[in-house]
Structure 1
Amino acid sequence: MAEQATMWLVRRAERQYASQLGQLRHGELSWYIAWRWLPGFVVAGFVVGIIAQFTGSPTSSRDPGLFYDIPLFVLVSLLTGLMLWSLTLFWSFRRLLVFDRGLLYRYSQKHTARAIFWEDIDPGSLRAVVSADGKDADHLLKTLNRADKEPLGVHGRFAVVFRGSDSVLTPGTPQGNSPQPRFFTFSSRNSPDELVRSIQQGLADAGVPEAGSALHPALPPTLVSSVTSLD
């Protein structure tokens, strides 16, 4: 269901931003299901159920109705915990979209949509990395100032890194002013080869200087085994 929802958002983004970004070329998915949080939310569901038992209206003056239906109490508490945990799925999936004129992210809502146009990317900064122990690669990539790095993905042992600046997008309006350049990272479980080649091809088609030389240091992914500074 979550995958279908993300694809619907992709199709909507194609229609909304075609005039500014051109045609969609490629989309890369980053996802992470927080199963380890599930027990905690189930416990929270039972806590909510217990509180409801003591704060709810009694069924009669003789029978306060506390835990009078244990199976129903367990079922409702479990469903409450599952419902709370399901809210984490809203930020468990992210896609980075590659268009003719640049990259698009945070496109689920109009006021959060951001584009990174090809001319705003430093082609020599394009890199792919892979963590040595299978952990999240993005957590190993650091900057001196935390605001100088923008994670675009959720989780994954692979990551694509580049330096650039993004622009605020509103459908039907011109490209906005680009803020201070910073590093962008996109972590994924899958090999980043196709994403890197899509970015490289977009840079080359846009006539970005030195775009043709950026592919060589970007692939294959560099092995990262400890915290690495991007500055």
Structure 2
Amino acid sequence: MLMGEDEKPNGRPSSKTVKAWKSRRDATMEMLVKCLEDEVLTHAKGFDEDPAGLWAHLTAIFRRSGVGAAVRMWREFSNVKYRGEEMTIVMGRIRSLADDLKRIHNDQPSDTQIVAVMLNSIAEYSSFSDLITNLESLKEELEVDDVKLRIIWKVKNLKDDGRLESGGVPMIAKGEVVALAANSKVIQCKNPKCQRTGHTIEECSREGGKKEGQYPEWYLRLRRNDGSMTQITPTSSFTNHYAM
């Protein structure tokens, strides 16, 4: 499991083989974390369900210091990929590696580099292509936290629309896309000034919506989870950054 050779089997999350694999994964992670000193536990952040990733991360950090270790960490940072786990875990792993590059090697990635890695982590999935195109076409500077929330919100929309399975983004044959789109029940806001999917006009916080001027519950929950509720920018700023 630590070497990454025990890969997750195909099948439904409730199948015996998948459940057995998850038990092995969780046992391996528990064993590994118990062996870490308190000051090293910070490195486990973002690897909650990836013992092989944590082991490789710890090896890259503590094998030796110097340019070689920094290069390995930069490679690990740039190669983070979304593989169906919770998106908050993927985003946390990217931020954790960025923090380690600064703290251990005094080589902090720029916000642009962090955003590029975030987008690259989901680039393999066509379900995210519209989001990536939209973000790359923006003229204003992309903020890391804004991009993270946009990606997490996209996953939520895909799940709500039945386009994202619990095990990850389903790979859909091109011939099935039209039929899938025709049969999917997409919730669309009837607010003329919004008309976006994923919520109704009763839940809409944009101008003309029933909750105009209010922050969406998903946004507040994410901010609370991130510990960043101490200061929130005005709704007008939110609308500019989250035109979904």
- Tell me whether the two structures share a fold, i.e. TM-score over 0.5: no
Structure 1 length-normalised TM: 0.31
Structure 1 or 2: larger strand share?
1
Structure 2 length-normalised TM: 0.29
Select the structure of larger CA radius of gyration: 1
Structure 1 or 2: larger helix share?
2
